[in-house]
Amino acid sequence: MSNAPANASLNAPVGAPLDAAGFVRSQIRTVSDWPQPGVQFRDITPLLQHPKAMRVLIDLFVLRYIDAKLDYVAGLDARGFIIGPILAYELNLGFIPIRKVGKLPYKTVSESYQLEYGSATVEIHEDACGPGDRVVIVDDLIATGGTMMAGKKLLERLGAVVVEGAAIIDLPELGGARLLREAGLPLYTVTEFGGH
C-alpha cells in the first residue's frame, strides 16, 4: 500500500455523486512501522491539509449532530482539539477540552486509564459542564478506547449526558469500539482500518 493518499476522487466530474466516507478514507495516509515496528500509523494530516477533504469530514459530523440538541462538543487531547472546535463552531455550541494531566489552569477532576505500555491521565475543568448538559466526545481515532472512556467518565462525573463518541477512524482489531459500546457509549466513526 502506498503511503500517499489516493486523490482520484478529487477530480470527479462536476455533479458526480461523492462517497463522502470513502473520500475521507482516501485522504488518510498509512505510515508503516511508526512509531515502532509492526504499527500501521493512520496519519490524518493529509486529510487536514486538503480543503475539500476537511469540509467533507466536518460536514459529515455536522449532518450527524445538527438535530441532536447538544450543549457541547468535547475534544480529546490532542487531535480531538483539531476537529472538535470546528464542529462546535459549525453547530453553534461550546467546546470542552479534555486534556492530558497538568495542562489545565483551573480546578480539575481527573481520570486515569491503562495503555498497552503503562497508564495515562486526562483532566477536565470542574466547571466545564453541568448536570443534564448533552455532550458528544470527538477524537481522531478509536484504538483501545481508553482515552474516550476516561473522557466519558469525567463528563458523567460532572453530570453531563454523553450522547455519543465520534471519531474519524475505528481500528476494530484493537477492541476499543467494542469496549465503549459495552460500556453504553454509542459510537459514530466515518471509516475503519484493519490491523494496528
User: With DSSP H G I counted as helix, E B as strand and the rest as coil, what are the percentages for the chain, rounded to 5?
Assistant: 35, 30, 35
> Does residue 134 have an active-site annotation?
no
Strand-pairing partners, residue 115, are 118
* Active-site pick, 42, 55, 90, 116: 116
* Active-site pick, 79, 99, 111, 192: 79
Q: How far is CA 81 from the centre of its chain?
A: 9
Dist CA 53 CA 167 (whole Å): 15
> Does residue 42 have an active-site annotation?
no
Phi then psi for residue 100, to 5 deg, are: -65, 155
At which residue does the C-alpha cell 491521565 appear? 121
Phi then psi for residue 37, to 5 deg, are: -55, 140
Strand-pairing partners, residue 194, are none
Active site residues: 79, 116
